Amino acid sequence: MIKNLTTHGNSLALILEKGVLDLLKIKKETPLEIATDGTNIIISPVRKAARAKAFRSALAAVNLKHGKTLRKLAE
| pLDDT at residue 20, rounded to an integer | 94
- How many structural domains compose the chain? 1
| pLDDT at residue 69, rounded to an integer | 92
Considering Cα of 22, then 25, then 28, then 31, what sign does the dihedral take? negative
Q: Is residue 63 part of a domain?
A: yes
Q: Is residue 44 part of a domain?
A: yes
How do residues 8-61 score in pLDDT, each as one tens digit?
999 999 999 999 999 998 999 888 889 999 999 999 888 777 777 788 889 999
Residue 35 lies in domain: 6-74
